[in-house]
């Protein structure tokens, strides 16, 4: 790709020739203990032979010069001076054995002895005791870990940002090996003992791991599987860790990864316009993270500039070569050279042009009136103009985003240091301007601008108490950090809970501090649960208060996770398990508190998330049918559920619900069949899966068949469908076992086993018989599905039209062919159903309004075949019917996705917004997706990144209201008779179950006992 200039360096391009300073100027003395020879001159010319030697040391194998910078930081060994080429990733490593300054050095080793690009050289000065070891190390090739710019799409930038997270994690792994010479392994699982920071990000990026191991052969990735075939935790192993060559390669790899981060950060900091709003937020969060350790102090603080680095290396190898620079003091402050002053002014101008102005433009601020200051000081007013234009831009930046930034969580140093930074930047060019272009006008400009700052900041403080800060997340949402402690499952659950507005309000209204526990309680399991429950509520309230602030871009759920994880904090958890743990603490743990201070929160959780079931039972009668089993009050007691299990074989949420409520054969005599009957649905209905990897979740669920009281005939059809579906499942499972057995017997017969051939033929016959049964069974299931329908009341057309004005004037043969209301709905509205909540008030119809009706219906009204008054009444009744039907509808609200395998993976959650869009919460990263199909595409994309992505939790929200959906299980009339006229006592006692006769041609007796499904 085209080389990209990054602060004077070409990323992916060729190095440039270092500047050779004119003679007569002295380089800065190297740091450390030094010895000066008596009588040494302060201005000497370096040896030509030594300069040629240095020239060869600073050349690559192809003759290009290294662009060397001297590295700083805690990761640089104290006994080494490291000069790193940012273009080629080569290193010139200098170990000072004896340092003597003030002497021109000459060595027995000459330029002809140097092999460009690599080698170790011992340099002993002929004139003094000065002695160096210089090692030139070629690049390992880790520059290829990151794609160089330019980036042509938002997706490419997003990929680079993800890669930076993996590289930062790799840095911490290498630093651990560098700091501990005896360390042989480092785990690649965050929960493993000895794991380094954010190592989970590295484990997720297989491409980085594979390329790194390929470029650094002293490392080996192990742990995919043991010799016994059992999985073990993956880790990175260092072979022969004490060997000098190994230690050198570890240090070289550490430096290359670090400088790769430095170069990438500098590139993005110089041009933040290539980010979207969410990406900019992610990049700033990443900066906060890496500025804590690997790039402490910022990217530029990791190295000296090229010129100073070259002078330092030249002073080490050649000795003194330039005289002391002229300096000038300004108001008694530390001396500043003219050269340094010019550099400060150029940096100030470049920072405004490349960073501040683009940030203002990105935030929609007009910048046409802002002129970047110029360093053209040919006129006397040049310095004053520079100061005025400089402060004008900074004032706009402080007002627009900078003041809010230093008061936000993104700025980890706090507001005090943030304001100190603002004041420092405001006056940064003053000393340099006074040194380079002093004038009375400049003094007045400095005094005027500096006098404006403090009142301006005081005004911002006053306004902040009434205003809000800047949050770049979509819809001012809040991300949750995950600092390498496997908090992603807790983060996903918290985002789901926070999105449930009524539950969120209940948490926010909970007491700020829990009531003190009784001192008489012993520290038993109950009191421990009570303490953990209090910790959870307090943490949840604090967290929700923080997340409710629109200016809060990122916060931490660690306090909540600590209560949910218990002693397992740091280990990967399942989101559904955490939901059940939360339920246990809220419902049981808080119940023991004196005075029940959190009773409102307990009831809120139970109301919005907990449903109820009861068990219906059947037994065989003498005629071969089945009759309800009358249960005692204790036996028929309601049971609570928190989520519907999605089992293996379920491809949709509706199938999981049908499986959960299907009839199951017990194989017993007293109770032959059982069924979980739903008594109430919570307004937020959750589904949980650990087995289904490819779930086709629905945008909405119609739960009418589960919420209504079906007729006896419909109950019989539902029962028969359950039996037939289970028969189909068992036959399919039998096929899965018979097919490989038949194949194995056929292979055995090839080796002369005659009995095997006979068995294979017998199995083949059985296979054919089973396959023949499957087709009619599938047809029967489809037939029963049609008979059951959605169980919504479908009266006759005649009864529906009773009381409609002018109904007798309807003149269309279409009405003669319509028997049921569903057919009329199709004629009037078609197959379209509203995709959002519809209130009863919205069911009213304006007379003459046909906007929602089909073209066929409008034509009937316009032609006079259907009178206007009749049309309006029919539309009103059908809309009311639609609202009634939608009382049993649930819309998708949240999708929790797990990306990974087993215990090694990552959770993200997608939350639906009121307008139908979705927010994707990936820890601290928040992005917006406009439609449900975009969510499906995103899940598919994540599943294509080396680890499968599967849906682990679904949450559906009741469309019509946030009240629980109660189910009337007693389908009987006021006179005690069932709808079909039979006595309802048995039905009432058994939860509304009618007696079922065995259907003609039904399932044989011997199959009944074999049909028994296992449910989680």
322-323 and 24-25 strand pairing: parallel
Measured CA to CA, the distance from residue 2 to residue 300 in angstroms comes to: 24
For residue 225, what are its two tokens?
A: 């599987």
- Is the per-residue pLDDT at 634 higher than 80? no
Measured CA to CA, the distance from residue 490 to residue 562 in angstroms comes to: 9
**Cα distances (angstroms) measured from residue 756 to each of 162, 739, 763, 770:** 57, 15, 10, 21
Measured CA to CA, the distance from residue 727 to residue 721 in angstroms comes to: 10
Answer whether 691's CB lies under 8 Å from 648's CB: yes
How much is the pLDDT for 952?
Answer: 92
Measured CA to CA, the distance from residue 288 to residue 587 in angstroms comes to: 39
Tell me the per-residue pLDDT of 866-886, one tens digit each, with 9 for 90 and over.
888 888 888 888 888 777 777
How much is the pLDDT for 386?
Answer: 93
Measured CA to CA, the distance from residue 660 to residue 681 in angstroms comes to: 13
Residue 259 burial by Cβ neighbours in a 10 Å radius (0-12, 13-18, 19+) = buried
For the segment 449-478, the average pLDDT, to the nearest whole number, is 75
For the segment 491-507, the average pLDDT, to the nearest whole number, is 95
Measured CA to CA, the distance from residue 889 to residue 701 in angstroms comes to: 6
Tell me the per-residue pLDDT of 144-158, one tens digit each, with 9 for 90 and over.
888 887 788 888 888
Tell me the per-residue pLDDT of 741-783, one tens digit each, with 9 for 90 and over.
877 777 777 766 566 667 777 778 888 888 888 888 888 888 8
For the packed helices 244-270 and 154-179, what is the interaxial angle rounded to 10 degrees?
150
9-11 and 4-6 strand pairing: antiparallel
Q: Which element (helix H / strand E) includes 524?
A: none
Lowest-pLDDT range of 440-454, 500-514, 971-985: 971-985
925-929 and 644-646 strand pairing: unpaired
Model confidence at 899, in pLDDT bands (50, 70, 90)? confident
How much is the pLDDT for 1016?
Answer: 32
For residue 465, what are its two tokens?
A: 């108490």
How much is the pLDDT for 15?
Answer: 33
Model confidence at 135, in pLDDT bands (50, 70, 90)? very high
Measured CA to CA, the distance from residue 154 to residue 275 in angstroms comes to: 7
Measured CA to CA, the distance from residue 383 to residue 349 in angstroms comes to: 13
81-85 and 479-480 strand pairing: unpaired
How much is the pLDDT for 711?
Answer: 65
Model confidence at 791, in pLDDT bands (50, 70, 90)? low
Mapped onto helix, strand or coil, the DSSP state of residue 861 is: helix
DSSP assignment of 207-223: HHHHHHHHH-TTEEEE-
Higher-pLDDT residue of 198, 684:
684
How much is the pLDDT for 574?
Answer: 86
Model confidence at 818, in pLDDT bands (50, 70, 90)? confident
For the segment 419-432, the average pLDDT, to the nearest whole number, is 90
Mapped onto helix, strand or coil, the DSSP state of residue 116 is: coil
Answer whether 138's CB lies under 8 Å from 92's CB: no
How would you label 50-88 residue by residue, b for 16+ Cβ within 10 Å and e otherwise? bbebbbbbbbbeeebbbbbbbbebebbeeeebbbbbbbb
Model confidence at 903, in pLDDT bands (50, 70, 90)? low
Answer whether 826's CB lies under 8 Å from 853's CB: no
The angle at the Cα of 24, spanning 21 to 27, to the nearest 5 degrees, equals 60
Measured CA to CA, the distance from residue 426 to residue 455 in angstroms comes to: 14
For the segment 212-229, the average pLDDT, to the nearest whole number, is 76
Measured CA to CA, the distance from residue 444 to residue 454 in angstroms comes to: 17
Q: Please, which residues have CB within 8 angstroms of residue 921's CB and are 6 or more apart in sequence?
A: 477, 479, 480, 491, 492, 495, 908, 909, 910, 911
Tell me the per-residue pLDDT of 830-854, one tens digit each, with 9 for 90 and over.
765 555 544 444 444 444 456 677 8
Measured CA to CA, the distance from residue 531 to residue 515 in angstroms comes to: 11
Measured CA to CA, the distance from residue 494 to residue 560 in angstroms comes to: 9
Q: Which of 731, 741, 736 has the alpha carbon at shortest distance from 763?
A: 741
68-70 and 119-124 strand pairing: unpaired
Category of 819 on φ-ψ map: left (φ > 0), alpha (ψ -120 to 50) or beta? alpha
Q: Please, which residues have CB within 8 angstroms of residue 608's CB and are 6 or more apart in sequence?
A: 500, 502, 503, 682, 683, 684, 962
Question: What's the chain's average pLDDT?
Answer: 78
For the segment 616-638, the average pLDDT, to the nearest whole number, is 69
Answer whether 887's CB lies under 8 Å from 702's CB: no
Q: Please, which residues have CB within 8 angstroms of residue 389's CB and are 6 or more apart in sequence?
A: 370, 371, 372, 373
Which residue has tokens 């009329």?
Answer: 824
Answer whether 439's CB lies under 8 Å from 383's CB: yes
CB count in 10 Å sphere of residue 264? 23
Q: Which residues pair with 895 in a beta bridge?
A: 910, 954
Which residue has tokens 């402050």?
Answer: 333
Higher-pLDDT residue of 944, 263:
263
**Cα distances (angstroms) measured from residue 624 to each of 177, 664, 803, 1004:** 75, 17, 47, 11
Answer whether 164's CB lies under 8 Å from 157's CB: no
For residue 798, what are its two tokens?
A: 């005649």
Measured CA to CA, the distance from residue 847 to residue 869 in angstroms comes to: 8
Label each residue of 574-602 as H, E or C. CHHHHHHHHHHHHHHHHHHCCCCCCHHHH
- Is the per-residue pLDDT at 435 higher than 70? yes
Residue 250 burial by Cβ neighbours in a 10 Å radius (0-12, 13-18, 19+) = buried
Which residue has tokens 């002078």?
Answer: 311
The order of strands in the sheet holding 185-187 is 185-187, 235-238, 219-222
For the segment 338-350, the average pLDDT, to the nearest whole number, is 88
For the segment 293-307, the average pLDDT, to the nearest whole number, is 82
For residue 713, what are its two tokens?
A: 């005939």
Measured CA to CA, the distance from residue 364 to residue 370 in angstroms comes to: 14
How much is the pLDDT for 986?
Answer: 36
How much is the pLDDT for 998?
Answer: 41
How much is the pLDDT for 150?
Answer: 78
Answer whether 163's CB lies under 8 Å from 543's CB: no
Percent of the chain with pLDDT over 90: 23
How much is the pLDDT for 895?
Answer: 96
How much is the pLDDT for 163?
Answer: 92
Torsions phi, psi of 664, nearest 5? -125, 135
DSSP assignment of 488-519: HHHHHHHHHHHH-HHHHHHHHTS-SSPPPPPT
Kindly provide the residue ranges of all beta strands, DSSP E only, lying in 939-1007, ordered along the sequence.
949-958, 965-966
Percent of the chain with pLDDT over 70: 79
For residue 34, what are its two tokens?
A: 């030094």
The angle at the Cα of 1007, spanning 1001 to 1013, to the nearest 5 degrees, equals 120
For the segment 923-932, the average pLDDT, to the nearest whole number, is 91
Measured CA to CA, the distance from residue 561 to residue 483 in angstroms comes to: 12
How much is the pLDDT for 851?
Answer: 65
Model confidence at 309, in pLDDT bands (50, 70, 90)? confident
Label each residue of 342-369 as H, E or C. HHHHHHHHHHHHHHHHHHHHHCCCCCCC
Measured CA to CA, the distance from residue 867 to residue 810 in angstroms comes to: 7
For the segment 626-646, the average pLDDT, to the nearest whole number, is 76
Which residue has tokens 């999605």?
Answer: 646
Tell me the per-residue pLDDT of 319-332, one tens digit each, with 9 for 90 and over.
875 433 444 443 43
Answer whether 723's CB lies under 8 Å from 715's CB: no
Q: Please, which residues have CB within 8 angstroms of residue 598's CB and are 6 or more apart in sequence?
A: 510, 511, 514, 537, 586, 590
35-36 and 100-101 strand pairing: parallel
For the segment 374-381, the average pLDDT, to the nearest whole number, is 76
For the segment 930-944, the average pLDDT, to the nearest whole number, is 89
Answer whether 208's CB lies under 8 Å from 221's CB: no
């Amino acid at each position: 790709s085209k080389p990209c200039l990054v602060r004077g360096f070409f990323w992916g391009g060729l190095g440039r020739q270092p500047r050779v300073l004119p003679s007569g100027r002295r380089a800065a003395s190297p740091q450390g203990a030094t010895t000066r020879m008596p009588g040494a001159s302060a201005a000497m010319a370096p040896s030509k032979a030594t300069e040629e030697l240095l020239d060869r040391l600073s050349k690559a194998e192809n003759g290009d010069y290294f662009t060397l910078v001297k590295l700083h930081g805690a990761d640089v060994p104290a006994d080494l001076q490291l000069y790193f080429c940012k273009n080629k990733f080569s290193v010139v490593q200098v170990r000072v054995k004896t340092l003597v300054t003030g002497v021109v050095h000459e060595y027995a080793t000459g330029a002809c002895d140097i092999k460009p690009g690599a080698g170790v050289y011992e340099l002993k000065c002929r004139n003094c005791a000065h002695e160096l070891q210089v090692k030139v190390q070629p690049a390992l090739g880790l520059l290829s870990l990151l794609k160089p710019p330019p980036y042509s799409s938002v997706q490419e930038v997003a990929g680079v940002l993800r890669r930076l997270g993996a590289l930062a994690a790799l840095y911490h792994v290498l630093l651990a090996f560098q700091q501990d010479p005896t360390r042989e392994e480092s785990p690649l699982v965050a929960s493993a003992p000895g794991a380094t920071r954010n190592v989970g990000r590295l484990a997720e990026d297989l491409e980085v791991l594979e390329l790194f191991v390929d470029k650094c052969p002293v490392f080996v990735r192990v742990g995919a599987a043991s010799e016994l075939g059992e999985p073990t935790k993956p880790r990175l192993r260092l072979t022969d860790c004490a060997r000098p060559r190994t230690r050198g390669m570890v240090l070289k790899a550490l430096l290359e990864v670090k400088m790769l981060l430095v170069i990438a950060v500098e590139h993005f900091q110089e041009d933040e316009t290539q980010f979207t709003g969410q990406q900019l937020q992610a990049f700033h969060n990443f900066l906060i993270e890496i500025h804590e350790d690997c790039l402490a102090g910022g990217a530029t603080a990791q190295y000296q500039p090229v010129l100073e680095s070259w002078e330092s290396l030249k002073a080490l190898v050649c000795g003194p070569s330039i005289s002391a620079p002229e300096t000038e003091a300004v108001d008694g402050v530390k001396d500043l050279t003219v050269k340094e002053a010019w550099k400060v002014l150029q940096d100030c101008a470049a920072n405004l042009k490349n960073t501040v102005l683009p940030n203002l433009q990105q935030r929609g601020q007009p910048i046409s009136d802002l002129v970047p200051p110029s360093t053209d000081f040919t006129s006397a007013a040049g310095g004053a103009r520079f100061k005025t234009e400089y402060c004008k831009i900074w004032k706009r930046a402080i007002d627009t985003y900078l003041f809010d930034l230093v008061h936000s969580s993104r700025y980890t140093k706090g507001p005090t240091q943030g304001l100190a930074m603002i004041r420092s930047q405001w006056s940064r060019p003053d000393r340099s301007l006074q040194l380079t272009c002093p004038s009375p006008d400049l003094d007045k400009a400095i005094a005027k601008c500096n006098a404006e700052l403090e009142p301006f900041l005081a005004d911002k403080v006053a306004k902040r108490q009434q205003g809000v800060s800047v949050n770049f997340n979509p819809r001012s949402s809040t991300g949750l950090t995950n600092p390498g402690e496997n908090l992603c499952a807790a983060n996903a659950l918290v985002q789901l809970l926070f999105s449930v507005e009524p539950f969120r309000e209940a948490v926010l209204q909970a007491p700020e501090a829990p009531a003190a526990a009784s001192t008489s309680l012993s520290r038993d399991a109950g009191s421990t649960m009570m303490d953990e429950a209090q910790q959870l509520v307090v943490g949840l309230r604090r967290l929700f208060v923080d997340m409710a602030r629109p200016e809060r871009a990122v916060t931490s759920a660690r306090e909540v996770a600590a209560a949910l994880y218990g002693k397992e904090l740091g280990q990967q958890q399942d989101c559904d398990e955490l939901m059940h743990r939360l339920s246990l603490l809220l419902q049981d743990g808080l119940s023991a508190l004196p005075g029940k201070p959190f009773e409102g929160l307990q009831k809120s959780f139970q109301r919005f998330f907990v449903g109820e079931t009861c068990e219906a039972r059947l037994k065989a009668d003498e005629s071969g049918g089945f009759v309800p089993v009358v249960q005692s009050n204790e036996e028929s007691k309601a049971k609570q559920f928190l989520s519907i299990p999605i089992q293996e074989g379920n491809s949709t949420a509706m199938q999981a619900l049908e499986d959960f409520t299907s009839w199951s054969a017990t194989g017993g005599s007293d109770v032959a069949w059982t069924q979980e009957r739903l008594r109430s649905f919570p307004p937020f209905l959750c589904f949980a899966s650990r087995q289904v990897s490819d779930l086709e979740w629905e945008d909405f669920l119609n739960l009418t068949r589960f919420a209504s009281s079906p007729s006896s005939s419909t109950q019989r059809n539902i029962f028969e469908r359950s039996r037939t579906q289970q028969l189909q499942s068992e036959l399919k499972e039998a096929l899965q076992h018979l097919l490989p057995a038949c194949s194995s017997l056929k292979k055995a017969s090839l080796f002369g086993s005659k009995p095997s051939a006979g068995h294979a033929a017998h199995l083949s016959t059985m296979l054919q018989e089973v396959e023949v049964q499957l087709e009619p069974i599938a047809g029967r299931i489809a037939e029963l599905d049609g008979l059951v329908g959605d169980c919504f009341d479908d009266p006759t057309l005649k009864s529906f039209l009773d009381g409609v004005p002018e109904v007798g004037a309807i003149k269309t043969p279409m009405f003669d062919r319509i028997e049921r209301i569903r057919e009329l709905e199709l004629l009037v509205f078609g197959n379209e159903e509203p995709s959002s909540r519809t209130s009863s008030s919205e069911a009213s119809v304006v007379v003459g309004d046909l906007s929602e009706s089909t073209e066929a219906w409008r034509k009937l009204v316009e032609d006079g075949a259907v009178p206007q008054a009749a049309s309006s009444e029919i539309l009103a009744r059908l809309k009311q019917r639609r609202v009634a039907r939608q009382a049993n509808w649930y819309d998708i609200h949240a999708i929790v996705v797990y990306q990974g395998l087993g215990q090694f993976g990552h959770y993200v959650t997608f939350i639906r917004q009121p307008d139908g869009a979705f927010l994707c919460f990936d820890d601290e990263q928040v992005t917006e997706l406009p439609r449900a199909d975009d969510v499906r595409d995103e899940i598919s994309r994540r599943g294509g990144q080396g680890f499968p992505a599967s849906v682990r939790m679904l949450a559906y929200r009741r469309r019509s209201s946030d009240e629980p959906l109660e189910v009337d299980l007693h389908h009987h009339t006021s006179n005690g008779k069932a709808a079909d006229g039979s006595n309802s006592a048995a039905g009432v006692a058994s939860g509304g179950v009618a007696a079922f006769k065995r259907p003609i041609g039904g399932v044989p007796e011997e199959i009944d006992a074999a049909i028994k499904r296992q449910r989680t």
